[in-house]
């Protein structure tokens, strides 16, 4: 190992003296890094060497070696996945990615394994990388990323981490602005934080996408009722009545909203 360190230091000193990187030196350093088990650094050096000279024989040879090793690890990972050995499969895919970190499908496969193990943070990280590396807008990768973001947001919501749920759902909405459920779930998180304006905005957006959904209508009614309660406490009776009227538009058979509005109207006579 000491010899490798000395050789690496020599190559690094030589490269530091050059105005431009040398493909030969990059390949030599990559070979040493492979011997040290640093496959990711080796890949970066070989890739840079090929950017300088894509016909460089040794650089192409080392790249082929890296690609083959990555393919072998991925094949092993798939076999392990089929056997239900998810932890071992993840380790093999991680090795595959280390040898060739620019393959979107490798991150997608590992992300799917993380999801099966309910490690949603790691799954989201891999799906994001797969999305970035994919040369086209792959709908399957995007869908898995959206589902993972939503699932993790729901876990945060259940545990009371509403701000984190809002952050995650915001990322999901950036990816897909036509998914009604994302707006509903984020609205629920805003409502738990008593951010009624934001909750109403999300529920309204969901309603505009699907005005026949009774679940959305009930949420809008509840949010307007909550807003009315705050206005009533501040003795803004006219505005509170308006909010309860909106609640009844979305939920006309709800007796509680009718009673609340009647109470507001009655008390407004004394102020």
What pLDDT score was predicted for residue 49?
Answer: 94
> Would you state the pLDDT for residue 269?
81
How many Cα atoms occupy the beta-carbon half-sphere of 223 within 13 Å? 26
pLDDT of 61 = 96
Position 2 scores a pLDDT of: 52
Q: Decide if 46 contacts 26 (C-beta within 8 A).
A: yes
- Closest by CA to 46, choosing from 24, 68, 19, is 24
Name the nearest CA neighbour of 49 among 71, 66, 72.
66
Residue 54 burial (10 A CB sphere; 0-12, 13-18, 19+): exposed
Helices 196-209 and 180-192 cross at an angle (nearest 10°) of: 160
Nearest to 130 by CA among 165, 156, 93: 93
- What pLDDT does 101 receive? 94
pLDDT at 266: 87
**pLDDT score at 271:** 67
Q: pLDDT for 49-68, tens place per residue?
A: 999 999 999 999 999 999 99
Taking 50 as the pLDDT cut, the residues of the chain under it are 1
Per-residue confidence (pLDDT) for residue 260, from 0 to 100: 93
- What per-residue confidence (pLDDT) applies to 7? 83
């Amino acid at each position: 190992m000491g010899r490798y360190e000395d050789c690496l230091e020599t190559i690094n000193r030589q490269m530091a003296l050059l105005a431009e990187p040398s493909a030969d030196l990059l390949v030599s350093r990559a070979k040493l890094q492979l011997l040290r088990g640093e496959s990711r650094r080796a890949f970066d050096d070989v890739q840079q060497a090929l950017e300088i000279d894509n016909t460089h024989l040794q650089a192409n040879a080392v790249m082929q070696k890296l690609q083959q090793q990555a393919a072998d690890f991925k094949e092993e990972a798939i076999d392990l996945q089929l056997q239900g050995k998810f932890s071992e499969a993840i380790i093999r895919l991680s090795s595959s990615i280390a040898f060739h970190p620019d393959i979107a499908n490798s991150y997608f496969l590992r992300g799917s394994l993380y999801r099966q193990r309910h490690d949603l943070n790691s799954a989201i990280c891999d799906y994001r990388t797969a999305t970035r590396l994919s040369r086209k807008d792959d709908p399957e990768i995007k869908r898995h990323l959206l589902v993972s973001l939503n699932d993790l947001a729901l876990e945060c919501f259940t545990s009371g981490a509403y701000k984190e749920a809002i952050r995650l759902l915001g990322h999901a909405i950036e990816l897909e602005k036509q998914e009604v459920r994302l707006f509903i779930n984020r609205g629920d998180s805003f409502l738990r934080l008593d951010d009624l304006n934001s909750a109403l905005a999300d529920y309204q957006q969901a309603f505009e996408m699907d005005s026949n959904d009774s679940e959305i209508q009930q949420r809008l009614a509840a949010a307007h009722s909550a807003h009315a309660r705050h206005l009533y406490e501040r003795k803004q009776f006219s505005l509170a009545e308006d909010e309860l009227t909106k609640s009844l538009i979305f939920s006309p058979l709800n007796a509680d909203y009718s009673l609340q509005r009647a109470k507001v109207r009655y008390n407004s006579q004394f102020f």
